[in-house]
Amino acid sequence: MAYWLFKSEPNTWSWDDQVAKGAAGEQWDGVRNYLARNNMKAMKLGDFGLFCHSVNEKRIVGVVEVCSEAHPDTTTDDPRWECIDVRAVAPFPRPVSLAEIKAEPRLSELALVRQSRLSVVPVTEAEWRVICEMGGYQG
């Protein structure tokens, strides 16, 4: 079991859009970065992820689950780019902002903080627990 963090611009793909897809989920497409893609290729069915809004609204808003492992990204003909599918699990009772994450010493090593431009990053189990606790989410 591994944990991840997915970042998306709410204008392009928001938590509400994700929820609207229901249990079927939707592919996490459009990633054109090797590191982010490699992270996705490492994902297994049933892995959990944090859904994070970027840009103006920088905060973690909910939990998603990987419901399909890596497959070609249908938004491009380029075979290098693959993606996975995720489905919404539950919203955070209390969204966790990026500022709160940066203020939390236990999250100082979070990949998101260290590589802020990467849209798909790994989260350790310890970090996962801290973030869920901050968001009032009972995993």
Give the residues across from 7 on adjacent strands: 52
Contact between 53 and DNA by CB under 7 A: the answer reads no
State the DSSP string of 68-84.
EEEEE-TT-S-TT-EEE
Closest CB to DNA among residues 81, 128: 81
Stretch that binds DNA, among 19-27, 29-37, 61-69, 130-138 (CB under 7 A): 29-37
CA pair distance 67, 85, nearest whole angstrom = 5
Total binding residues for DNA by CB under 7 A? 14
* Closer residue to DNA in complex, CB, 23/78: 78
Touching DNA, residues 82-101 (CB under 7 A): none
Residue 10's Cβ-count burial label (10 Å; 0-12, 13-18, 19+) is middle
Q: Which residues bind DNA (CB under 7 A)?
A: 7, 32-35, 54-55, 58, 78, 115-119
